[in-house]
Amino acid sequence: MCYPLLGKKIKSTEYLDINLSQENPILDFRKTSNPKYLEQFIFSELEKNNVKYGIGGYLEKRNIYSISKNFSPERNIHLAIDIWAKVGTQIFGTLDGEVHSFKNNDLPYDYGGTIILKHEEDGNIFHTLYGHLSLSSLIGLKIGKFIKKGTPFCQIGNWDENGGWPSHLHFQKIINMENYEGDYVGVCEKKDLEYYKINCPNSFPLTSFERK
């Protein structure tokens, strides 16, 4: 059984589903590649609904990534759950694991502070990636370090250290890390989607957010 990612179970009344796909009618499609617009949109929606957290994004097709040369025009399908919350929000280990790798992916609109944990459950190995973290989250880490379930081990970072995005956690489940260390594909092209849907299944069940 998973320990809650944010340290407590989040009831359905305590969070808002955030849809950043190109199909969202209340999102100004022309402005979605502007992170300042995104920040205003997301956190004003949370405030209007009187909730602290937003969540969503798995397999969403987004216009956001056109802001960066790191993404080709066709690379726009998001492979993780995003949890939108304030800078400094503490993140807890959902399952026992060890540090697979970590890195400051410091290119503009990349992950910024990133930690990847390796887990084994019923003989099966998989990984969880935590992106857009504070750089202080990386201090004292080493490959193989054990992270006990329920341990607070990282925090959501700010603009200067999270790649330049509104504050949030990119939380991704990955079966096969291939040869990546401290990084992994978080956004894919449509032609590769069938592979990534298998290798990066929905991480929502690991969050302990109550389903609506």
Q: Mind listing the pLDDT tens digit for each residue in 147-194? A: 999 999 999 999 999 998 999 999 999 999 999 999 999 999 999 999
User: What confidence score (pLDDT) does residue 10 get?
Assistant: 98
Task: Calculate ∠ Cα 8-10-13, nearest 5°.
Answer: 150
Query: How do 90-92 and 152-155 pair as beta strands?
Result: antiparallel
CA-to-CA distance for 179 and 207, rounded, in angstroms? 26
Domains of the chain: 12-206 (2.70.70.10)
Write down the pTM of the prediction. Answer: 0.95
User: Residue 73, by phi and psi: left (phi above 0), alpha (psi -120 to 50) or beta?
Assistant: alpha
The confidence score (pLDDT) of residue 28 equals 85
The pLDDT of residue 66: 67
Over residues 75-83, mean pLDDT: 95
